[in-house]
């Protein structure tokens, strides 16, 4: 039986993968260095299963109340994907997110790092969760602040907290280009911040940057993970 939705997703995936490959060629990089994380927020578990059947290994969500049951439904149906939590994480959601997320992209404070560590270590047979520290490039949008004055949200303090916390594996940085910035400016700055972080924490090699509209610029500046939603799944329905 034909599945028009699967065919649509396959065509969209092929187009996005072509964009990634072309961006890597332009930057002199190996396309194998860039992981595609498909952001499936507002879309059903059936779409995640279709994506898995098309070779997608990594999917992302930004709201725990949607992600937790969706991850359970996908697992019950035999789907095998890596779950990335990419949204703003509240401390009271840490235990739930730690139950299914393989990588959390949005740790932005020392207190949140400690809460996530406590959640991971309190789950039986849960060894560790990969963590990216979210960086605020303009000092106002969500994220740890480069050279920030407050210890709880200063980037160096957050990196140190994640790097030493039980149950957390510091893997790198994540950022979103500020709304009024050109992506080129944002990702050039992020690349500089990331290089300094890797100098102090050699395991922090992951750089999560770039979405449907700016993945090329992110790849030019070293992104290892691009977070793509609408270019694969289509325009999202309004959030309820």
Q: Coil, strand, or helix at residue 127?
A: coil
Domains along the sequence of the chain with CATH: 4-232 (3.20.20.10)
Residues 44-81: pLDDT tens digits?
999 999 999 999 999 999 999 999 999 999 999 999 99
Residue 190: what are its φ and ψ, rounded to 5°?
-60, -40
Banded pLDDT at 121 (limits 50, 70, 90): very high
Residue 192: what are its φ and ψ, rounded to 5°?
-65, -45
Average pLDDT over residues 14-40: 98
Residues 30 and 21 sit within 8 Å (Cβ to Cβ): no
Residue 91 DSSP class:
G
Banded pLDDT at 204 (limits 50, 70, 90): very high
- The pTM assigned to this predicted structure is 0.96
Q: Which residues pair with 173 in a beta bridge?
A: 133, 207
Average pLDDT, the chain: 96
Question: CA 88 to CA 104: how far, in whole Å?
Answer: 10
User: Which residue, chain included where needed, has tokens 């009271």?
Assistant: 92
Average pLDDT over residues 4-29: 98
Residues 89-117: pLDDT tens digits?
999 999 999 999 999 999 999 999 999 99
Average pLDDT over residues 124-151: 93
Token duo for residue 173: 């940085």
Task: Of 50-59, 199-208, 228-237, give the lowest mean pLDDT range.
Answer: 228-237
Question: CA 9 to CA 168: how far, in whole Å?
Answer: 34
* Beta carbons within 8 Å of 221's beta carbon, 6+ residues apart: 184, 187, 188, 190, 191, 209
Question: CA 16 to CA 14: how far, in whole Å?
Answer: 6
Going by their DSSP bridges, the two strands 58-61 and 82-85 should be labelled as: parallel
Banded pLDDT at 141 (limits 50, 70, 90): low
């Amino acid at each position: 039986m034909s599945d028009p939705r699967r065919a649509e997703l396959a065509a969209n995936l092929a187009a996005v993968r072509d964009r990634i490959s072309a961006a890597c060629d332009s930057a002199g990089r190996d396309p194998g260095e860039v992981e595609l994380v498909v952001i499936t927020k507002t879309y059903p578990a059936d779409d995640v299963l279709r994506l898995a059947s098309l070779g997608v290994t990594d999917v992302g969500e930004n709201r725990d109340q949607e992600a937790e049951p969706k991850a359970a439904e996908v697992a019950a149906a035999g789907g095998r994907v890596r779950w990335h939590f990419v949204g703003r994480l509240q401390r009271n959601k840490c235990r739930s997110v730690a139950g299914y997320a393989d990588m959390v992209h949005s740790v932005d404070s020392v207190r949140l790092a400690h809460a996530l560590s406590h959640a991971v270590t309190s789950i039986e047979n849960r060894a560790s969760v990969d963590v990216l520290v979210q960086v605020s490039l303009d000092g106002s949008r969500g994220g740890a602040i480069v050279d920030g004055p407050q210890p709880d949200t200063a980037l160096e303090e957050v990196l140190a907290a994640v790097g030493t916390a039980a149950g957390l594996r510091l893997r790198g940085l994540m950022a979103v280009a500020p709304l009024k910035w050109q992506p080129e400016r944002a990702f050039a700055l992020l690349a500089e911040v990331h290089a300094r972080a890797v100098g102090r924490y050699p395991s922090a090699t992951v750089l999560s940057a770039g979405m449907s509209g700016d993945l090329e610029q992110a790849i030019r500046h070293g992104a290892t993970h691009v977070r793509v939603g609408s270019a694969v799944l289509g325009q999202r329905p309004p959030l309820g």
